[in-house]
Amino acid sequence: EGALHGPSIMPGGSDEIKKEILPVLQNIAAHLDDGTPCCSWIGPDGSGHFVKTVHNGIEYGDMQLIAEAYSLLNVLQKGDHEATAQTFESWNKGVLDSYLIGITAPILRYKDTDGKSLIDKIADRAGQKGTGKWSIEAAINSGTTLSVTAESVFARLLSNRTTERNKAHRLYPETDPAPIFELSVDDIHHALYASKIIAYTQGLDLLRNMSEKHNWQLNLADIATIWRKGCIIQSRFLYEIAQAYKPTNEYENLLFTPYFREKIILCLPSWRKVVQTAIAAGIAIPGTASALAWFDGFRCKKSSANLIQAQRDYFGAHLYERIDAPAGTFFHTDWNRHGDGTTSGNYSL
C-alpha cells in the first residue's frame, strides 16, 4: 500500500544530510488532504528508526485490541460475520475511523472458493517480526510501562502453542459465554476506544522518555501528523493527538488533556463492564484488561507498592523510603524485632 500510494516516512540522522534527503523523501511520501507530506525529519542518530519501532509497537496493541473486540462481537452476534462486518463498518465512520478498522469489514466478508468465510479457515497462530519485542525492551530499559504492547506480544506467543491450548481446552471446558449477552455493541466500542487511548498514551510516554534520554527533542505533534496517512496505524484519532501537542509541543500525558480526559470518562463504565463480563465468561481479552489495569494503577493515589518495599527490605535489606521523611532518605528495619527496631540513615545506592 505504501509503495502504491505513498508511505509514512520517519527519517533521522545528521543535519548535514537532512537538506539533501528530506525533499526526496517528502516527495514520495503519502500526503494529507491539505498537502502536508507524511514525512518529517525526526531528529539525530537513530531517532527515526526508533519512532518507526514504537509505531509498530503501538500497531501490535491496536491489532490485539481490535481482535479482542472481534472475539466479543463474534459471540454476541452468534458468529454472524456479516453483522460483525457491518458493526466495524459503522465504527469506521466515527471516532474509531482508521486503516485497521477499515480493513476488518472486508476481511470478515471475504468468501473462499467454496463460498464459505475465509476467516474461519485461517489458523489462529499469529506471527511477528520483532518490532513489538524491541519496543518492550526499550520500555523496560527506560522505565516506561508499555503493558498493552507487551500483552499483545505475549498473546501472539500464546496463540502459537496450539497443541497445548487444545489440551487445556479439553481439561478446562467450562467456559460459559452467556454473560456476554449482557453487553451491547456500544459497550464494546467504548472499551475498544478507551483501550486504544491507553495504547497510544503508553507509546507516546516511551517516545518522550527516550527523547529525553538521548536529547532527540522529538516533536510529538509532527510524529502524530505523519502517522495520519501511509502507515498501518493511520487514523482520525491521530489528528486529535496532534492537536493536543501542536500549540506548545510541550509533553503532557495524553490522559491529562481535556479532549482525552472527556473520552475516558465517557467510556469508563462500558470499559469496566466489558472487562468484567469477559472475565466472567472466560473470554481472554489481555490487551483490553491490561489497559484498564494500567489506567487504574495510574490514577491510584496510594498503591500497594509500600508492601513490596517492606518485603524487599525484609528479605534483602534493600531499604525503603518513608512518607514522613524527605524523599531520598532510606531506612532499614530489623523485621525480626518487635517495636522500635528501625534504623535510618542516608544510604548511597
What are the tens digits of pLDDT across the range 127-150? 999 999 999 999 999 999 999 999
The rounded distance, in Å, linking the Cα atoms of 124 and 309 is 41
Residue 45 burial (CB < 10 Å; 0-12/13-18/19+)? middle
| Contacts (Cβ under 8 Å, ≥6 apart) of 160 | 125, 126
Rounded to the nearest 5 degrees, what angle is found at the Cα of 142, between the Cα atoms of 141 and 147? 85
When mean pLDDT is compared across 6-20, 232-246, 258-272, 325-339, the lowest value belongs to 325-339
Annotation: CATH topology of 2-298:
N-(1-d-carboxylethyl)-l-norvaline Dehydrogenase; domain 2 (1.10.1040)
Reported as a pLDDT band with limits 50, 70 and 90, residue 250 is confident
pLDDT at 231: 94
Region 198-213: mean pLDDT is 97
- Could you tell me which of 205, 206, 246 has the C-alpha nearest to residue 224? 246
| Residues found in the chain | 349
Reported as a pLDDT band with limits 50, 70 and 90, residue 251 is confident
pLDDT at 248: 77
The domain ranges of the chain are 2-298, 305-345
Reported as a pLDDT band with limits 50, 70 and 90, residue 346 is low
Q: Calculate what percentage of the chain has a pLDDT beyond 70.
A: 97
The yes-or-no verdict on residue 330 having pLDDT over 50 is yes
Region 307-311: mean pLDDT is 96
Active site residues: 52, 59
pLDDT at 349: 47
Q: What cell does 57 get?
A: 509497537
Q: Are 72 and 183 in contact (CB under 8 A)?
A: yes
pLDDT at 348: 47
pTM, rounded to two decimals: 0.93
The mean pLDDT value of the chain amounts to 94
pLDDT at 197: 97
Beta carbons within 10 angstroms of residue 296's beta carbon = 11
Region 166-187: mean pLDDT is 91
CATH class of 305-345: mainly alpha
Q: Give SS3 for 330.
A: strand
The rounded distance, in Å, linking the Cα atoms of 233 and 149 is 14
